[in-house]
Structure 1
Amino acid sequence: MNARGKDGIAVRFGKMSKTAAVVVTWNRKDMLRQCLDCIIGQQGADCDVLVIDNASTDGTYDMVTADYAVPRVHYLDTGDNLGGAGGFMCGIEAAVTMGYDRIWIMDDDCFPNPTALAELLKADEELGGRWGFLCSAIYWTDGEICKFNRPKKDAFRHVDERDYRRKLVPVKMTSFVSAMFRAEVVREVGLPIAEYFIWTDDYEYTGRISKLHPSYAVSASKVAHAMRANARPSLATEDISRIGRFYYLSRNDVHCYRQHGAIGYAYLVAKTVYTAVDILLHARSGRGGRLYQLVQGTVDGFAFDPSVRHVNPNNHRIAR
């Protein structure tokens, strides 16, 4: 392993893969271990690995440095919990700055099939590198198609099983559960918006890319997403102690989809009305608090205007 403890990443000497897998983690070392084993066990293609740790306190650093002390695995502690958005911003910037051509990103609860990477790179070759992002087909742990975090054909329509009968499915957005980017596209469009913290940062970023470059879901590249349940998070039924997270979803959705014109605004209206009705009909407690997260996030989304950062080759987090 080439890392400077918790201070940054050091570029190793010697042969370097052209592809880096970027994994963002926070206090889920057992899931991270399974994710890393899946990446290291890829067949027909290889990659280096960048573990982006959002200041875990569960022994993640000790586990990675003890059990994955090999040249292809690098470790970076962000120093704080930056959320998924901040973690992916740091990880993608690190990978581009270190000189990787292809950046394959995922959360720590993403478990790629053995040929997931090879299929993405095969599609890359067949497309002649003329694409903005590629993404995998996402399934739940029981083999059923994932009901959350699927690629989207537009604001309203997700990719479904019928679409996956095609080799390549044109898409406009995808989650960060196994997505691949070209370094030159990252330099062109900038980085994910760290201020999103959680939720919708993936759709905003990939939507930004697909406005400029055709992008595809690669049906033969498959991953499992180990969510607690195969269902979309629901503000109406979420534990009352966790409803504050949904503020970010409402705020970020407004910022993201208002950039997509009439169809984006139509989506926002439909989703906001649906969520409000769902709360009124199905929430067993805390209806007022749940509606507050929805309304306040939606209102704040219209004033939310974070700037897009671009890759900084002199980023102090990265040891050259």
Structure 2
Amino acid sequence: MEQIAAVVVTYNRKDLLQQCLKSILAQEQVVCDVLVVDNASADGTQQAMEQWAEPRVRYRNTGQNLGGAGGFNFGMRWAVEAGYDYVWIMDDDTIPQPDALKQLWSAHEMLRGNYGFLSSVVLWKDGKECRMNRQKIKKSFYEHVELLRHGIIQIEQATFVSLFFPAEVICRAGLPIKEFFIWGDDLEYTRRISCRMGLDCYAVGQSIVTHMMQSNNGASLSTDVPERIERYRYAYRNENYTYRKEGIKGMLYYLARSGRELLRILLHSPDHKAKRSMVLIGSVFGGFAFCPGIESISRPTVKQ
């Protein structure tokens, strides 16, 4: 019997994590195990997890903060090496609706397993679109336009908030790049599968999750609060790697996108224009020296 593992990466969000776990365990019809990857939380997460008596929930503490990228790298390796056939990944502040996994599995069956990944629709707390988790629809989605009547549309990138993979795809693609630490690991990984490997990937409109983010303003270096400015060094460095891998067309897009953001900073930023500009420019140029490798993985001959 085919087995599914939900991989949840957590860091210092004990209460949200437990809401997430309860919603996964309450999924209708399709059953999955849950692998919790704790990036060395300091809020009592480990103690809270020790109270769980549910055998379907397994927990590992990484011992250090690996960032989101490192956490998903760790968790996806764990799932594949444990012999699971499918891997459903999400952050700890993701609350799937009761039929979210059932709808992903229905799409899997309709597509007969011929896809790279499936992505849920991500809403914010007010029931509207979560801007941080907007998928990028493939321009030639009409190649599979017949799927629209089922609420399925072809995409080329998505976030790690409710993403569903066959384990075989992870083995072919390798793992997310842990050196990204935060930001852009999902962009690189989904584009690796859809653009560089050429696999068809889809958003499943009937599979819905809520992302319990504090705000729904998206992320922009030009407008974000001052204490978050330094985090954008990861974003622009990581995107340099991603689009560099897609050749001249990818790099032109990346440079144009970065140039537009610099213009927004100069014209519209409310404060710290010099610091914002230097973070962006330094990350763009520094990104050319950022050359992490991709870790390979294989499935066990005998399930653990």
**If the length of structure 2 is used for normalisation, what is the TM-score?**
0.91
- Opposite residue 268 of structure 2, the aligned amino acid is H
Match of 1:83 in 2: 67
Q: Structure 1 residues 141 and 263, CA, compared in 2 at 3 Å: closer, same or farther?
A: farther
Unaligned runs of 5+ in 1: 1-15, 158-162, 315-319
Per-residue CA deviations over 1:1-46 (Å, capped at 9, x if unaligned) read xxxxxxxxxxxxxxx9700000001001111111111111111211
Counterpart of 2:55 in structure 1 is 71
What's the offset of the Cα at 1:239? 2.2
Aligned: 1:123 with 2:107 = yes
Q: How does 1:228-267 map to 2 (within 5 A)?
A: 228-267=214-253
1:97 matches 2:69: no
TM-score by length of 1: 0.87
1:178 to 140, 162, 167: 162
Query: Are 2:17 and 1:32 aligned?
Result: yes
Tell me whether 1:295 sits opposite 2:270 in the alignment. Answer: no
Match of 1:60 in 2: 45
CA distance in 2, matches of 1:241, 1:215: 36
- 1:200 pairs with 2:191: no
Instruction: Report how many aligned residue pairs link the two structures.
Output: 293
Judged with a 3 Å threshold, the aligned counterparts in structure 2 of structure 1 residues 245 and 154 are, in CA distance, closer, same or farther, namely farther
From 283, 300, 310, the counterpart of 2:269 = 283
Task: Show CA shifts across 1:220-254 (max 9, x none).
Answer: 00111112221211212222222111000000111
Moved over 4 A (4+): 163-166
More displaced 10-residue stretch of structure 1: 79-88 or 271-280: 271-280
Q: Is the 8 A contact 2:40 2:63 kept in 1?
A: yes
CA separation of 1:148 and 1:263: change in aligned 2, threshold 3 A = farther
Using the TM superposition, give the Cα deviation of residue 258 of structure 1 relative to its aligned residue in structure 2, in angstroms: 2.0
Paired position in structure 2 for 1:108:
92
Aligned residue for 2:8?
23
Aligned to 2:116: 132
Alignment correspondent of 2:28 = 43
CA displacement 1:259-285 (0-9 Å, x = unmatched): 223442232123212211221122232
- Conserved 8 A contact 1:149-1:174: yes
Distance 2:148 2:254 in 1: 27
Percentage identity across aligned positions? 46
Asked if the contact 2:80–2:298 (Cα under 8 Å) also holds between the matched residues in 1, the reply is no
> What CA distance in whole angstroms lies between the structure 1 residues aligned with 2:190 and 2:103?
20
Across the aligned residues of Structure 1 and Structure 2, the Cα RMSD in angstroms comes to 2.0
